[in-house]
Amino acid sequence: MILVYVIEDNILQSQALSAQLSLAGMKFILPNHFGSIDYQLQEIRCHQPQVILLNPKIKALDGWEMLSQISSHNDTRHIPVVGYHHQADGQMAKKFILLGGKAFYQHNSSTVEAIPKYIIKIYTNLQKIHETI
C-alpha cells in the first residue's frame, strides 16, 4: 500500500483527494496545520511516505520553496514529489521538475479523480528504475 503525504491547503481539494486516494486503496496523510516549511519537513521525516503530493501554488506556505527543501535534504530527497494544479501550464510543470519534482499532473478542471492512477503509475515506474540500478 502506497503512503502519500498530501500538501494541499484547499479544504475542498483535500477532501476530494482524500476520497480518491482512499478509493484507490492508498493511505494518506493530510497535515492538521501547515506551520512552517521546517514543520512540514519534520512531519515528512516522521511519517516517511512513499510519495509526496504537492500543490506548488498553496497559500499556506511557499509550495515552490517546500519542493526545493524536500529535494535538497538528504533524508527527504529520495521521496518522489508529484505536483499538481488545476490551472497548470507547461511552464509550471517545467519549473516543478527543475526544482526537483519527479512528475507533474496537469489537469484543466478542478477534478482530482485521475490523480491516484497517476501516482500509482509514477511510483511503479520509479520502483522499476530503482530495481534495475
| Tens of pLDDT, residues 3-33 | 999 998 888 888 888 888 888 888 999 887 7
Q: What is the pLDDT of residue 73?
A: 94
What the block records as the C-alpha cell of 34 is: 501547515
Burial category of 16 from C-beta neighbours within 10 Å (exposed 0-12, middle 13-18, buried 19 and up): middle
**All 3 cell numbers of residue 62?**
511557499
Cα(19)–Cα(13) distance, integer angstroms: 10
The answer for residues whose C-beta is within 8 angstroms of residue 75's C-beta and 6 or more apart is 45
Tell me the three state secondary structure of residue 93. helix
Output the pLDDT for position 108: 57
Domain that holds residue 33: 3-132
- Neighbour tally for 126: CB within 10 Å: 15
Average pLDDT, the chain: 85
pLDDT tens-digit series, residues 50-84: 999 999 988 888 999 999 999 999 999 999 999 98
Contact 129, 78 (CB under 8 A): no
If one counts the domains in the chain, the total is 1
Q: What is the pLDDT of residue 131?
A: 66
Report the amino acid identity of residue 82.
V
Q: Domain holding 45: CATH number? A: 3.40.50.2300
